[in-house]
Amino acid sequence: MCLLEAVAFMAGEPHSDCPMCVCPILASFARTLNDSFRSDVERTENLSQFISKLAQTNRGPDIGRARLNYILNHVLRIVVPNYLDSSGHINSDGLRASERISDDVSVEIMRDLLRGFRHDIPQSAHHSSSSDSDMMDETDWQLYVLSTSILACDTWLSGQLENAASYAVQIIDACVGLDLAVWLLSEAINQVKP
């Protein structure tokens, strides 16, 4: 049973991984996080704390958008710049200093900044044709992080907010691992309230 199925069961809803009582943004983030763990034990240890916390978080689209903005601000203005800076090839202070994500204009600015960084990444010595993470070098990972970050912005702009939340988990996992995604899910629940 996945995290959201457990929430649906606890809330007395029909069996589903899309319980109506959960904020759609948090549900998408949690669903992707749930599916990203490499073992059932690891997933249970990290996510069981959220079964009761996610129930009754669906407070309407405005609070959902506020939660997504909170998540993306952390991911795109802190996690991604720290990851890119660690390579030594990119100075991503512009991402940190960018306007907080709050509307279409701020997301477009962020997306344009991210697009500009693709030109700063040195060409890879090899180009992986495999999706196997062992075959990807540092440059491949940087391009993946930038491309996924741009996709998060594009989906935000097209109104596909739940997809943007899912991309946020993928970005975090590629940059620093899932522990931060677990923390950020907790923060999005606790810090962004109606």
Instruction: Render each residue's pLDDT in the chain as its tens digit; 194 residues.
Output: 899 999 999 999 999 999 999 999 999 999 999 999 999 999 999 999 999 999 999 999 999 999 999 999 999 999 999 999 987 767 889 999 999 999 999 999 999 999 998 877 776 544 545 555 556 788 888 999 999 999 999 999 999 999 999 999 999 999 999 999 999 999 999 998 87
Are 17 and 5 contacting, i.e. CB atoms less than 8 angstroms apart?
A: yes
Whether 19 contacts 7, CB under 8 Å:
yes
Sequence ranges of the domains in the chain: 3-191
Q: Which residue has the tokens 């697009």?
A: 115
- Would you tell me how many other CB atoms lie within 10 Å of the CB of residue 47? 21
The two three-digit tokens of residue 49, written as one number: 């704390």
| Residue-by-residue DSSP string for 17-61 | SS-TTS-HHHHHHHHHHHHH-SSHHHHHHHHTTHHHHHTT----H
